[in-house]
Amino acid sequence: MDVALPEASAEGELLQAARQGMDTAFEQLLRLNQARVFSIALRLTGRREDAEELAQDVFVQLHAALAQIQTAAHLRHWLLRTVSHRAIDRLRQRSRQPRVVSLDASHDVADPEHSSDPLAQRKLRLLLLQLPTDARAVVLLRFQEDLDPTQIATVLGMPLNTVKSHLRRSLDWLRAQTAGAEDGY
């Protein structure tokens, strides 16, 4: 069953009902936001099992933090910030272990868009997984969530110039890699 996104006021009403303890309202908020949260976690971590676990953790945290969330816009910001930070933490923990990027790893990364060139999409996903953690989060929030650099800086708690630097360097590196250059990030 495909649920249409409610208008902000309807989501605000669900939030208010969830804050008052209505479990069905919280379940509806979860359903409305689970695809976004899962997608961000999956694109950042590159692993379906990590994304599932992170999404579940984020919604458990959300349930505990409902009293502090006042509006639908605040809810969206809270979710973006929380899933981004938790995914970055997970990647930092993982980076302490030896890292291998395999061509077979791409099967874990879901691609909701239909592409005329699936090999190019696969290559781009693999390249994104090679970006440093913070840079990957910046690129993901910019191009998947369509946030501007100021919003990204707020969500990630980074200086604006750092966000802009990550974007510029990441895009330059991705262009070079897709053009066949061998330079590292």
Report the range of poorest mean pLDDT among 2-6, 17-21, 152-156, 169-173.
2-6
Answer whether residue 111 is part of any domain: no
C-alpha triplet 12, 142, 108: angle, nearest 5°: 90
Answer whether residue 172 is part of any domain: yes
Same domain, 123 and 89: no
160 lies in which domain range? 117-185
Give the model confidence (pLDDT) of 65-119 as tens digits. 999 998 999 999 999 999 999 998 888 887 765 444 433 433 334 444 444 567 7
Residue 177 has pLDDT above 80, yes or no: yes
Same domain, 77 and 159: no
Same domain, 74 and 13: yes
- CATH number of 31's domain: 1.10.1740.10
- CATH number of 160's domain: 1.10.10.10
Return the pLDDT at 126.
84
Residue 7 has pLDDT above 80, yes or no: no
**Of 4-13, 15-24, 118-127, which one has max mean pLDDT?**
15-24
% of residues, the chain, pLDDT over 70: 79
Same domain, 17 and 88: yes
Same domain, 2 and 90: yes
- Where residue 1 falls among pLDDT bands split at 50, 70, 90? very low
Same domain, 151 and 64: no
| pTM for the structure as a whole | 0.65
Same domain, 126 and 183: yes
Return the pLDDT at 34.
94
Cα dihedral value 58, 63, 67, 73, nearest 10: 50
Residue 128 has pLDDT above 70, yes or no: yes
Answer whether residue 60 is part of any domain: yes
Same domain, 124 and 182: yes
Cα dihedral value 44, 49, 55, 60, nearest 10: -140
Q: Which two tokens stand for residue 94?
A: 């993982």
- Across all residues in the chain, what is the average pLDDT? 81
Instruction: Report which of 114, 120, 157, 125 is spatially closest to residue 138, judged by C-alpha positions.
Output: 157
